Amino acid sequence: MYELTVKNSFSSAHSIPDYDGKCARLHGHTWQVEVAVRGKHLDRKGMLVDFRKIKSGLDKIVTDLDHQYLNDLKIFKEEGINPTAENLAKYIYISLKEMINNYDVKLTMVRVWESPSASASYWEVD
């Protein structure tokens, strides 16, 4: 089994309504996003999948999130969910999974870092 990991980052603001603490107020992060895919077979070039293919999908998602007030985005506002690191990880996972489903790899994890010492991850159990 092989695993590839790619990373990207974006900056955005959010608030967590009804939170008992500073995060209830408007604040921002430079989010780091880490994505892992796995697969069993390498292609004739010795690659599981070209890093560029995974990076391209992640870039599209990150571009839509960059320099936004996350609370106002449809994905959070209409669903009535808070833009927490946990919910961001799930959103990115679901979005990226749709983009890479034609490759011979499985998206295994998305980790979102809101600071150098705090992250949340999302993955699906088979």
Instruction: Look at residues 47, 48, 63 and name the one whose alpha carbon lies nearest to residue 96.
Output: 63
DSSP state of 69: B
Run of H or E including 58 = helix 51-65
CB–CB of 63/95 below 8 Å? no
- How many domains are there within the chain? 1
Q: What is the pLDDT of residue 121?
A: 99
Give the residue ranges of the annotated binding site for Zn(2+): 14, 27, 29
* Residues annotated catalytic, as ranges: 23, 67, 114
Which residue has 């993955």 as its token pair?
123
Mean pLDDT of all residues in the chain? 95
CB–CB of 21/126 below 8 Å? no
Query: How many Å apart are CA 86 and CA 56, to the nearest integer?
Result: 22
Residue 83: Cβ-neighbour burial (10 angstroms; 0-12, 13-18, 19+): buried
pLDDT tens digits, one per residue of 15-65: 999 999 999 999 999 999 999 999 999 999 999 999 999 999 999 999 999
47: domain range? 2-122
Radius of gyration of the chain (CA): 16
Run of H or E including 110 = strand 106-115
Coil, strand, or helix at residue 56? helix
Q: What is the CATH number of the domain that holds 94?
A: 3.30.479.10
18: amino acid identity, one letter:
D
Q: What is the pLDDT of residue 90?
A: 97
